[in-house]
Structure 1
Amino acid sequence: MNAPKAAMSGRFNRLLMRLLKFGLVSVLLVILLAEMLSHNSGEKPPMFSWLAWVQWATSMLAIAVYAWYRPGRKRWIAAVAVASLVVTGIDAVYDQVVRGVGTAELLAMGLLLLFAIRHWDAAPGRWVAFVLGAAILLIGGVRLFTYEGSDVGGTAMVVMAMLSVIGFGAYLRSMDKLRRETQEEVRRAERLELAREMHDFVAHHVTGMVVLAQAGQVTDTDPRKAFADIEEAGLAALASMRRMVRMLRADDTGGGVNPLGDLSQIEDLVDRFSREGTDATCFISPELAGGAVAPEIAATAHRVVREALTNVRKHARGATRVRVVVAAASGQGLEVSVRDDGRAPRGRFGRESLAQSGAGLGLVGLRERIEAVGGQLRAQERPEGGWETAAWLPREAAPVEV
């Protein structure tokens, strides 16, 4: 099976970002090499000075940290800032008249300042951004703008560039915070919904226990067989309750906030969708009827169809046909699929981009809910056109560790 186009697009975007970083690193290295070799008439190139080689080492450290930076490695940014301050102090002590080596270092630290602002609260603390900003300013004032009349204008340009970087970093940080808060709100709503569903799921199993106990009193069944059936129903009730409690306690449990449903309600859901103007059909395999599917799985299947139809209404331009299928699958499972013939909005925003980036909170919650019961979700563009949202679910929910 070919990889989904959404996954291919995600890999392509990651490749572009790596190429962009490679290009920036290459430019910084070229600038550093030019700094080491350039000189005025009658002067020796900086490469003949031991201090220039110290500055070269600090520049290489800054470039390397930028090249291999990942969120959570802010301590390396702090190391670059401290090293730069030390080297600038050495330069000031020796009071060199010629222009020092530091342009590539300044540019690399400007890029690192973006990360320091975006990850403002990451270890080792907020002071990293202030120390890095001071190091950038001192590079300009002590090592680069040494010629007469260049200090004021050069420092002003550095300050303006720093303010731009700080503003962009603050914007990215605010977007990260907004996304986390929005997802947390959805998760809180889902935990409340799960608390309501717990009553329905556990009540289903307890009702079965009561029926078995009543049947054992009026029939001539083997008491051991009756007790074994009651025990099995009781264990199923406990497993369902533990699963729900675990999902309620988990900080990273996500999901939507749609009401509880089952397989019998999927047809009604599709009929209501069809009455809104889109030709929608539904097929549910007969072998899945009659309690062949656990209540948690039936509710999850209902949630898949509801979320998929919502996305069709929001994001599928010109969709005229929708096909919903709930069929038995291999491995004692079932597959829920919703296919449409619509076109995505310009830029693929809302379908392919949401599926690959997780920006669609409905898909985020749906994926986590499906995985919580041991299933798998895929959302991808169809080769013949349109979109497909499909999920494989076990007929019984995944076992829960006691």
Structure 2
Amino acid sequence: MTSTSAARSLHGRFNRLMMLLLKIFIIGSLLLSLAAEMFSNGADKPPPFISWFSWLEFATAIFVIGVYVLYRPGRKRWIAAASIVSLAVTGLDLLYDQGVRGVGTAELLALGLLMLFSVRHWDALPGRWVAFANGAAVMLIGFRVFADNLETAFVGGTVLIFLAMMTMIGFGAYLRSLDKLRRETQEEVRQAERLELAREMHDFVAHHVTGMVVLAQAAQVTDTDPKKAFADIEEAGLAALTSMRRMVKMLRNDDGGAGTNPLGDLAQIEDLVERFNREGTDTTCFISPELAGSAVAPEIAATAHRVVREALTNVRKHARGATRVRVVVAAASGNGLEVSVRDDGRAARGRLADSGGGMGLLGLGERIEAVGGQLRAQARPEGGWETAAWLPRVTTVPG
């Protein structure tokens, strides 16, 4: 592994380690705060642990912290449960004078963290009311925390709690806006891709139907065996139906999207590489003669062209100092073809390897899967980046 690949891998591990350490620090702080509150003496009152009700509050705090630790998007019902349990215990605390200081600081902090998720996933089930229940639990828990100082600390403490809660609400709203922007961008890309696919469907079907017409015309003016002529027309018709089914599948795919670009084929890949080469990067292209002499289905050829175009675009955007790019389109096992684009560049900050892939690469993967292929995009052990795709090589009947 080169120093570039090793540095990129180390950077990713470091980020994951820092996030893990941050979460451990938060959880540890909550548990230490809960223990200190449970076993510390008040000014004129014994520690809370002598009261059975304090242990109920302790269990509630552990439950709320556990919800924070285990929360994942889509599990907002657990936030609702934590908020309702907290409200119920606060209500019981107001009714039951246990004679010791209430326990609730750690629970308050955990509920504040859950408020961020309540707002960020505002529309998730079971509904928006969860955020309001969460906010009520945060604000009312002050009756437990400041029960011993209602006249002096209650007002100031409540104001501080309110300000902290508004900060978490603001941060959650900001993250929600980023999520919404990403969804809207994906939707726009998906709709644009559908329009492009609709235009491609016309070209593909026209290609196959034209071949069927040519076969029928040839059968009329030659001594071709009728059974052979009908078999050829049938094969061309089946190819047309297969092409149309693939395109319809891509049009119906709600998660698709790869941007709009002109329709291309294998012959145009060399032109694409030549234009890229003129921009200053040593780029070579090899297309297997076996493929050049065979009839590759139009939608497969267009997808191969899209793979090369997207890969070269990513080289230009993300591969710093790339001096060599190799494009290979070769026959592969399983009656397929493999398209690969490899570079020797150094990863720019925020490259696809670190971000998990851009919109174009994500949509490209969807498109390749729709035609029965597989995409592989990863760092090369010897340095640089590789984008490769295996595609089924579906042959059509020559006209």
Q: What TM-score, normalized by structure 2, do the two folds share?
A: 0.91
Pairs within 5 Å for 1:189-268: 189-268=192-271
In the alignment, which residue of structure 1 is the partner of 2:274?
271
In the alignment, which residue of structure 2 is the partner of 1:400?
none
In the alignment, which residue of structure 1 is the partner of 2:352?
351
Deviations 1:298-353 (A, max 9, x none): 101100111111111112222222111111112221111111222222xx313322
Q: CA deviation at 1:170?
A: 0.6
CA–CA distance in structure 1, aligned partners of residues 43 and 105 of structure 2: 20
In the alignment, which residue of structure 1 is the partner of 2:183?
180
- Give percent identity, aligned residues only: 73
- Is the partner of 1:67 in helix, strand or coil? helix
- Partner AA of 1:377 in structure 2: L
Deviations 1:68-105 (A, max 9, x none): 11111111111111111111111111245642111111
In the alignment, which residue of structure 1 is the partner of 2:126?
124
- Partner AA of 1:187 in structure 2: R
In the alignment, which residue of structure 1 is the partner of 2:74?
72
CA–CA distance in structure 1, aligned partners of residues 112 and 294 of structure 2: 62
User: Is the 1:117–1:129 Cα contact (8 Å) retained in structure 2?
Assistant: yes
- Is the partner of 2:123 in helix, strand or coil? coil
Q: What TM-score, normalized by structure 1, do the two folds share?
A: 0.91
Q: Aligned match of 2:384 in 379, 386, 399?
A: 386
Q: CA separation of 1:251/1:105 partners in 2, compared to 1, >3 Å: closer, same or farther?
A: same
CA–CA distance in structure 2, aligned partners of residues 45 and 99 of structure 1: 7
User: Is the 1:97–1:146 Cα contact (8 Å) retained in structure 2?
Assistant: no
Q: Aligned match of 2:64 in 62, 65, 69?
A: 62
Q: Aligned match of 2:374 in 369, 373, 376?
A: 376
Q: CA separation of 1:13/1:219 partners in 2, compared to 1, >3 Å: closer, same or farther?
A: farther
User: Is the 2:47–2:101 Cα contact (8 Å) retained in structure 1?
Assistant: no
User: Is the 1:52–1:100 Cα contact (8 Å) retained in structure 2?
Assistant: yes
**Is 8-17 or 199-208 further displaced after alignment?**
8-17
CA–CA distance in structure 2, aligned partners of residues 86 and 142 of structure 1: 12
In the alignment, which residue of structure 2 is the partner of 1:366?
364
User: Is the 2:266–2:304 Cα contact (8 Å) retained in structure 1?
Assistant: yes
- Partner AA of 1:169 in structure 2: G
The answer for unaligned runs of 5 or more in structure 2 is: none
User: Is the 1:102–1:144 Cα contact (8 Å) retained in structure 2?
Assistant: no
- Is the partner of 2:347 in helix, strand or coil? coil
- Is the partner of 2:249 in helix, strand or coil? helix
CA–CA distance in structure 2, aligned partners of residues 116 and 96 of structure 1: 32
- Partner AA of 1:332 in structure 2: N
CA RMSD of superposed structures (Å): 2.2
In the alignment, which residue of structure 1 is the partner of 2:29?
27
User: Is the 1:101–1:144 Cα contact (8 Å) retained in structure 2?
Assistant: no
Q: CA deviation at 1:195?
A: 0.3
Q: CA deviation at 1:122?
A: 0.7
- Partner AA of 2:393 in structure 1: R
Q: Does 1:319 align with 2:322?
A: yes
Q: Aligned match of 2:162 in 159, 164, 167?
A: 159
- Is the partner of 1:209 in helix, strand or coil? helix
- Is the partner of 2:141 in helix, strand or coil? helix
Deviations 1:87-146 (A, max 9, x none): 111111124564211111111111111110000011111111111111111112343453
Q: CA deviation at 1:10?
A: 6.4
Q: CA separation of 1:7/1:393 partners in 2, compared to 1, >3 Å: closer, same or farther?
A: farther
Q: CA deviation at 1:181?
A: 0.3
- Is the partner of 2:230 in helix, strand or coil? helix
**Is 129-138 or 27-36 further displaced after alignment?**
27-36
CA–CA distance in structure 2, aligned partners of residues 146 and 327 of structure 1: 78
Deviations 1:361-399 (A, max 9, x none): 1111111111111111122222222222111111129xx
CA–CA distance in structure 2, aligned partners of residues 315 and 72 of structure 1: 34
In the alignment, which residue of structure 1 is the partner of 2:305?
302
User: Is the 2:311–2:387 Cα contact (8 Å) retained in structure 1?
Assistant: yes
Q: CA separation of 1:171/1:193 partners in 2, compared to 1, >3 Å: closer, same or farther?
A: same
CA–CA distance in structure 2, aligned partners of residues 177 and 289 of structure 1: 45
Q: CA separation of 1:16/1:377 partners in 2, compared to 1, >3 Å: closer, same or farther?
A: farther
Q: CA deviation at 1:290?
A: 3.0
Q: CA deviation at 1:282?
A: 0.7
Q: CA separation of 1:16/1:239 partners in 2, compared to 1, >3 Å: closer, same or farther?
A: farther
User: Is the 1:145–1:154 Cα contact (8 Å) retained in structure 2?
Assistant: no
Q: Aligned match of 2:287 in 280, 284, 290?
A: 284
- Partner AA of 2:180 in structure 1: K
User: Is the 2:108–2:138 Cα contact (8 Å) retained in structure 1?
Assistant: yes
User: Is the 2:142–2:157 Cα contact (8 Å) retained in structure 1?
Assistant: yes
CA–CA distance in structure 2, aligned partners of residues 186 and 8 of structure 1: 33
**Is 37-46 or 303-312 further displaced after alignment?**
37-46
CA–CA distance in structure 1, aligned partners of residues 110 and 126 of structure 2: 20
Pairs within 5 Å for 1:41-60: 43-60=45-62
- Is the partner of 1:29 in helix, strand or coil? helix
The answer for unaligned runs of 5 or more in structure 1 is: 398-402
**Is 259-268 or 146-155 further displaced after alignment?**
146-155
- Partner AA of 2:110 in structure 1: A
CA–CA distance in structure 2, aligned partners of residues 335 and 303 of structure 1: 13
Aligned length: 390
Deviations 1:50-76 (A, max 9, x none): 211111121121111112111111111
User: Is the 1:205–1:234 Cα contact (8 Å) retained in structure 2?
Assistant: yes
Q: CA separation of 1:11/1:192 partners in 2, compared to 1, >3 Å: closer, same or farther?
A: farther
Q: CA separation of 1:8/1:183 partners in 2, compared to 1, >3 Å: closer, same or farther?
A: farther
Q: Does 1:334 align with 2:346?
A: no
